[in-house]
Structure 1
């Protein structure tokens, strides 16, 4: 997902810079709105999974406090490592979706400029 989003952001920026017609800009806008919707869904799913892992970590940690056991310690460690990776990925998704909003704003701005120059 990280590579896909990184490549898409490069692609949309290049396409936006080269765009000169209002029709092409409308096409870019429609495509970009779809991608934003997909990424918002992806972000929500990853948020829920991250919260689930955080809850599981709390439960395992509580069990570890009341019953010191090597197996539970191993579970706490595994879930903690997984949670760190989920947080890192969620952070990337959140920041990239916010960048997508900025690209959306720049598309709107370019649409306004093209309409003004057409008058």
Structure 2
């Protein structure tokens, strides 16, 4: 997903820089709105999974505190590592979706400028 989003952001920026036609800009806007919707869904799913892992980690830490069991310590360590990777990925998704919002604003601005130049 990281590579996909990175490539998409480069693609959309290149396409925006080369675009000077209002119809093409409308097409770019429609495509970008679809991508934003997909990534918002992806972001919500990853948020829920991250919170689930955080809850599971808290439960197992509580079990570890009360039992001092070595296998539980191993399980806590594994869940903690997984949670760190989920947080890293969620952070990337969150920041990229916010960049997508800024690109959306840029598209709106470019549409406004094209409409003003035709007057």
Shared fold, TM over 0.5: yes
TM-score, reference length from structure 2: 1.00
Q: 2:109 matched to which residue of 1? A: 109
5+ long unaligned stretches in structure 2 = none
| In structure 1, distance between residues paired with 2:18 and 2:109 | 15
**1:40-96: per-residue Cα shift (whole Å, max 9, x none)?**
000000000000000000000000000011110000000000000000000000000
Q: How does 1:59-70 map to 2 (within 5 A)?
A: 59-70=59-70
Q: 2:81 matched to which residue of 1? A: 81
Root mean square deviation of aligned Cα: 0.3
Question: CA shift at 1:107, angstroms?
Answer: 0.1
Q: 2:51 matched to which residue of 1? A: 51
Matched, 1:41 2:36: no
Q: How does 1:19-30 map to 2 (within 5 A)?
A: 19-30=19-30
| In structure 2, distance between residues paired with 1:118 and 1:53 | 54
**3-state SS, counterpart of residue 110 of structure 1:** helix
Q: How many residues align?
A: 119
Q: 1:17 matched to which residue of 2? A: 17
| In structure 2, distance between residues paired with 1:35 and 1:110 | 19
TM-score, reference length from structure 1: 1.00
| In structure 1, distance between residues paired with 2:98 and 2:28 | 18
